[in-house]
Protein backbone atom coordinates (compact mmCIF):
# COMPACT_ATOMS: atom_id res chain seq x y z
CA UNK A 1 0.00 0.00 0.00
CA UNK A 2 1.23 3.48 -0.77
CA UNK A 3 2.04 5.72 2.18
CA UNK A 4 1.34 9.42 2.59
CA UNK A 5 5.01 10.00 1.83
CA UNK A 6 4.54 8.26 -1.52
CA UNK A 7 1.49 10.41 -2.23
CA UNK A 8 3.35 13.62 -1.51
CA UNK A 9 6.37 12.47 -3.51
CA UNK A 10 4.12 11.62 -6.45
CA UNK A 11 2.56 15.08 -6.40
CA UNK A 12 5.98 16.69 -6.18
CA UNK A 13 7.28 14.57 -9.08
CA UNK A 14 4.21 14.90 -11.28
CA UNK A 15 3.84 18.67 -10.89
CA UNK A 16 7.51 19.15 -11.76
CA UNK A 17 7.21 16.77 -14.73
CA UNK A 18 4.22 18.67 -16.15
CA UNK A 19 5.83 22.09 -15.70
CA UNK A 20 9.11 20.97 -17.22
CA UNK A 21 7.39 19.52 -20.28
CA UNK A 22 4.70 22.21 -20.56
CA UNK A 23 1.94 19.60 -20.30
CA UNK A 24 -1.63 20.78 -19.72
CA UNK A 25 -3.60 18.72 -17.19
CA UNK A 26 -7.23 18.95 -16.10
CA UNK A 27 -7.20 20.54 -12.60
CA UNK A 28 -10.05 18.20 -11.64
CA UNK A 29 -7.45 15.42 -11.41
CA UNK A 30 -4.88 17.51 -9.55
CA UNK A 31 -5.75 16.00 -6.18
CA UNK A 32 -3.50 13.83 -4.05
CA UNK A 33 -5.03 10.42 -4.83
CA UNK A 34 -5.18 11.11 -8.58
CA UNK A 35 -1.65 12.47 -8.66
CA UNK A 36 -0.44 9.39 -6.81
CA UNK A 37 -1.92 7.12 -9.48
CA UNK A 38 -0.85 9.32 -12.40
CA UNK A 39 2.62 9.86 -10.97
CA UNK A 40 3.19 6.14 -10.47
CA UNK A 41 2.04 5.27 -13.99
CA UNK A 42 4.16 8.00 -15.60
CA UNK A 43 7.27 7.08 -13.61
CA UNK A 44 7.03 3.41 -14.52
CA UNK A 45 6.63 4.27 -18.21
CA UNK A 46 9.58 6.67 -17.98
CA UNK A 47 11.77 3.89 -16.54
CA UNK A 48 11.24 1.73 -19.65
CA UNK A 49 13.45 2.11 -22.74
CA UNK A 50 10.81 3.07 -25.27
CA UNK A 51 10.90 2.80 -29.04
CA UNK A 52 8.93 5.10 -31.31
CA UNK A 53 6.72 2.31 -32.73
CA UNK A 54 5.40 1.20 -29.35
CA UNK A 55 1.69 1.61 -28.55
CA UNK A 56 0.05 2.15 -25.16
CA UNK A 57 -3.45 1.03 -24.19
CA UNK A 58 -5.32 3.04 -21.53
CA UNK A 59 -8.04 0.88 -19.94
CA UNK A 60 -11.07 2.98 -19.03
CA UNK A 61 -9.44 6.15 -20.32
CA UNK A 62 -12.23 8.61 -19.45
CA UNK A 63 -11.62 11.82 -21.37
CA UNK A 64 -8.06 10.76 -22.19
CA UNK A 65 -6.35 13.21 -19.81
CA UNK A 66 -3.65 10.72 -18.79
CA UNK A 67 -3.17 9.33 -22.31
CA UNK A 68 -2.59 12.82 -23.69
CA UNK A 69 -0.06 13.52 -20.94
CA UNK A 70 1.81 10.26 -21.64
CA UNK A 71 1.73 10.88 -25.38
CA UNK A 72 3.23 14.33 -24.93
CA UNK A 73 5.86 13.23 -22.39
CA UNK A 74 7.07 10.07 -24.10
CA UNK A 75 6.04 10.58 -27.76
CA UNK A 76 3.93 7.42 -27.65
CA UNK A 77 0.90 6.47 -29.65
CA UNK A 78 -1.92 5.95 -27.14
CA UNK A 79 -5.23 4.17 -27.60
CA UNK A 80 -7.92 4.26 -24.94
CA UNK A 81 -11.43 2.96 -24.52
CA UNK A 82 -14.19 3.73 -22.08
CA UNK A 83 -17.81 2.53 -22.07
CA UNK A 84 -18.94 5.90 -20.65
CA UNK A 85 -17.27 8.02 -23.33
CA UNK A 86 -19.97 10.42 -24.59
CA UNK A 87 -20.19 12.49 -27.77
CA UNK A 88 -19.04 15.71 -26.11
CA UNK A 89 -15.83 14.07 -24.86
CA UNK A 90 -15.19 12.51 -28.28
CA UNK A 91 -15.56 15.94 -29.93
CA UNK A 92 -13.18 17.41 -27.36
CA UNK A 93 -10.69 14.67 -28.12
CA UNK A 94 -10.91 15.46 -31.84
CA UNK A 95 -10.02 19.06 -31.01
CA UNK A 96 -7.05 17.87 -28.97
CA UNK A 97 -5.91 15.67 -31.87
CA UNK A 98 -6.20 18.58 -34.29
CA UNK A 99 -4.16 20.73 -31.90
CA UNK A 100 -1.53 17.95 -31.69
CA UNK A 101 -1.42 17.82 -35.49
CA UNK A 102 -0.64 21.56 -35.60
CA UNK A 103 2.04 21.05 -32.94
CA UNK A 104 3.58 18.21 -34.93
CA UNK A 105 2.40 15.36 -32.70
CA UNK A 106 0.04 13.99 -35.40
CA UNK A 107 -2.89 13.17 -33.12
CA UNK A 108 -1.24 10.35 -31.19
CA UNK A 109 -4.22 9.68 -28.91
CA UNK A 110 -7.34 7.79 -30.01
CA UNK A 111 -10.34 7.14 -27.76
CA UNK A 112 -13.06 4.55 -28.37
CA UNK A 113 -16.52 4.19 -26.84
CA UNK A 114 -16.65 0.43 -26.22
CA UNK A 115 -17.02 -1.87 -23.26
CA UNK A 116 -14.19 -4.24 -22.42
CA UNK A 117 -15.55 -7.26 -24.30
CA UNK A 118 -16.22 -5.22 -27.45
CA UNK A 119 -12.77 -3.68 -27.36
CA UNK A 120 -10.87 -6.95 -26.93
CA UNK A 121 -12.89 -8.45 -29.78
CA UNK A 122 -11.81 -5.58 -32.05
CA UNK A 123 -8.20 -5.14 -30.84
CA UNK A 124 -5.83 -7.91 -29.84
CA UNK A 125 -4.05 -7.01 -26.61
CA UNK A 126 -0.83 -8.36 -28.13
CA UNK A 127 -0.41 -5.20 -30.22
CA UNK A 128 0.29 -3.08 -27.14
CA UNK A 129 3.69 -2.71 -25.49
CA UNK A 130 2.28 -1.03 -22.38
CA UNK A 131 -1.20 -1.46 -20.90
CA UNK A 132 -2.26 0.79 -18.04
CA UNK A 133 -5.13 0.77 -15.55
CA UNK A 134 -5.68 4.00 -13.67
CA UNK A 135 -8.39 2.62 -11.34
CA UNK A 136 -10.93 1.62 -14.01
CA UNK A 137 -10.82 -2.19 -14.32
CA UNK A 138 -12.30 -2.57 -10.83
CA UNK A 139 -15.48 -0.91 -12.13
CA UNK A 140 -15.77 -2.72 -15.50
CA UNK A 141 -17.90 -5.66 -14.33
CA UNK A 142 -18.38 -5.55 -10.54
CA UNK A 143 -19.89 -9.06 -10.24
CA UNK A 144 -18.16 -11.57 -7.97
CA UNK A 145 -15.28 -13.62 -9.43
CA UNK A 146 -13.91 -15.56 -6.48
CA UNK A 147 -12.06 -13.18 -4.17
CA UNK A 148 -11.88 -10.46 -6.87
CA UNK A 149 -14.50 -9.31 -9.40
CA UNK A 150 -15.46 -10.02 -13.00
CA UNK A 151 -13.57 -7.01 -14.34
CA UNK A 152 -10.24 -8.27 -13.03
CA UNK A 153 -11.11 -11.88 -13.86
CA UNK A 154 -11.71 -11.04 -17.52
CA UNK A 155 -8.65 -8.83 -17.80
CA UNK A 156 -6.12 -11.21 -16.26
CA UNK A 157 -7.45 -14.10 -18.33
CA UNK A 158 -7.01 -12.11 -21.54
CA UNK A 159 -3.64 -10.67 -20.53
CA UNK A 160 -2.24 -14.11 -19.70
CA UNK A 161 -3.07 -15.45 -23.18
CA UNK A 162 -2.60 -12.38 -25.39
CA UNK A 163 0.02 -10.18 -23.75
CA UNK A 164 3.52 -10.46 -25.19
CA UNK A 165 6.24 -11.57 -22.73
CA UNK A 166 8.14 -8.29 -23.18
CA UNK A 167 5.07 -6.11 -22.59
CA UNK A 168 4.11 -4.69 -19.21
CA UNK A 169 0.88 -3.96 -17.37
CA UNK A 170 0.98 -0.93 -15.06
CA UNK A 171 -1.73 -0.61 -12.44
CA UNK A 172 -2.64 2.06 -9.89
CA UNK A 173 -5.98 1.15 -8.37
CA UNK A 174 -8.13 1.58 -5.27
CA UNK A 175 -8.12 -1.37 -2.85
CA UNK A 176 -10.00 -2.12 0.37
CA UNK A 177 -8.62 -1.36 3.82
CA UNK A 178 -10.29 -3.03 6.79
CA UNK A 179 -13.77 -4.52 6.42
CA UNK A 180 -14.97 -5.18 2.90
CA UNK A 181 -18.43 -3.75 2.45
CA UNK A 182 -20.59 -4.93 -0.44
CA UNK A 183 -18.68 -3.31 -3.32
CA UNK A 184 -16.52 -4.09 -6.33
CA UNK A 185 -13.28 -3.15 -4.58
CA UNK A 186 -10.70 -5.87 -3.89
CA UNK A 187 -8.17 -6.48 -1.18
CA UNK A 188 -4.56 -5.79 -2.16
CA UNK A 189 -3.54 -9.33 -1.18
CA UNK A 190 -6.29 -11.02 -3.25
CA UNK A 191 -5.56 -8.97 -6.36
CA UNK A 192 -1.80 -9.61 -6.24
CA UNK A 193 -2.25 -13.33 -5.55
CA UNK A 194 -4.51 -13.64 -8.58
CA UNK A 195 -1.97 -11.86 -10.80
CA UNK A 196 0.94 -13.91 -9.48
CA UNK A 197 -0.52 -17.09 -10.99
CA UNK A 198 0.48 -15.88 -14.46
CA UNK A 199 2.63 -12.77 -13.93
CA UNK A 200 5.80 -11.61 -12.25
CA UNK A 201 5.04 -8.58 -10.06
CA UNK A 202 7.59 -5.75 -10.36
CA UNK A 203 8.02 -2.39 -8.62
CA UNK A 204 5.09 -2.85 -6.24
CA UNK A 205 4.25 0.50 -4.62
CA UNK A 206 7.60 1.93 -5.69
CA UNK A 207 7.95 5.63 -6.48
CA UNK A 208 11.46 6.89 -7.10
CA UNK A 209 11.97 10.00 -4.98
CA UNK A 210 14.38 12.65 -6.22
CA UNK A 211 16.99 14.33 -4.05
CA UNK A 212 14.95 17.53 -4.22
CA UNK A 213 12.16 15.84 -2.29
CA UNK A 214 14.53 14.56 0.39
CA UNK A 215 15.65 18.14 1.02
CA UNK A 216 12.14 19.22 2.03
CA UNK A 217 10.70 16.03 3.52
CA UNK A 218 11.81 16.96 7.06
CA UNK A 219 9.06 19.59 7.07
CA UNK A 220 6.51 16.78 6.74
CA UNK A 221 8.07 14.25 9.15
CA UNK A 222 4.87 13.81 11.19
CA UNK A 223 2.36 13.22 8.41
CA UNK A 224 4.74 11.07 6.35
CA UNK A 225 4.34 8.24 8.87
CA UNK A 226 0.67 7.68 8.04
CA UNK A 227 -0.57 5.21 5.45
CA UNK A 228 -2.49 6.77 2.58
CA UNK A 229 -6.14 5.84 3.04
CA UNK A 230 -9.46 7.59 2.63
CA UNK A 231 -13.22 7.12 2.85
CA UNK A 232 -15.17 7.73 -0.37
CA UNK A 233 -17.57 10.70 -0.52
CA UNK A 234 -21.29 10.40 0.31
CA UNK A 235 -23.55 8.37 -2.01
CA UNK A 236 -20.77 5.85 -2.69
CA UNK A 237 -20.03 2.85 -0.46
CA UNK A 238 -20.80 4.05 3.04
CA UNK A 239 -17.90 3.56 5.44
CA UNK A 240 -15.63 1.83 2.91
CA UNK A 241 -12.01 2.80 3.58
CA UNK A 242 -9.76 2.67 0.53
CA UNK A 243 -6.04 2.77 -0.17
CA UNK A 244 -4.11 2.70 -3.45
CA UNK A 245 -2.11 -0.23 -4.82
CA UNK A 246 0.49 0.35 -7.52
CA UNK A 247 2.37 -2.42 -9.31
CA UNK A 248 3.88 -3.47 -12.64
CA UNK A 249 3.17 -6.96 -14.02
CA UNK A 250 5.05 -8.88 -16.68
CA UNK A 251 3.84 -12.22 -18.05
CA UNK A 252 5.80 -15.23 -16.83
CA UNK A 253 8.16 -16.44 -19.57
CA UNK A 254 7.20 -20.11 -19.12
CA UNK A 255 3.58 -19.54 -20.21
* Close Cβ partners of 218 (under 8 Å, ≥ 6 residues apart): none
Q: How far is CA 66 from the centre of its chain?
A: 8
Contact 123, 163 (CB under 8 A): no
CATH topology of domain 4-251: Rossmann fold (3.40.50)
- Position 93 pLDDT exceeds 60: no
Task: Point out the least confidently predicted range of 5-9, 169-173, 223-227.
Answer: 223-227
Residue 96 has pLDDT above 60, yes or no: no
pLDDT given at position 236: 63
Provide the pLDDT for residue 239: 67
The mean pLDDT value for 37-51 works out to: 86
pLDDT of residue 115: 85
Q: How does pLDDT run across 97-117, given as a tens digit for each residue? A: 545 544 445 447 788 888 888
Q: What is the pLDDT of residues 217-230, one digit of tens each?
A: 888 777 777 788 88
| CA atoms 6, 38, 29, 193: torsion sign | negative
Q: What DSSP string runs through 161-217?
A: HHS-TT-EEEEEEEEEESS--SSS--BHHHHHHHHTTTEEEESTT-----HHHHHHG
Amino acid sequence: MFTFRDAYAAKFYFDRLRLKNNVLFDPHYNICESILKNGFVCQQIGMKNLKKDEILLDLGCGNGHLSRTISRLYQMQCIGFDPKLNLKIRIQNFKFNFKNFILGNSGRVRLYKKDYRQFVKKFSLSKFTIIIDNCSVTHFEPGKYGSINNGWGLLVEDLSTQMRPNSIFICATDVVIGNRINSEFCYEKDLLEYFEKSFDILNKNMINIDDEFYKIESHYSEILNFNFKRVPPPNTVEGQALGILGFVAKRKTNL
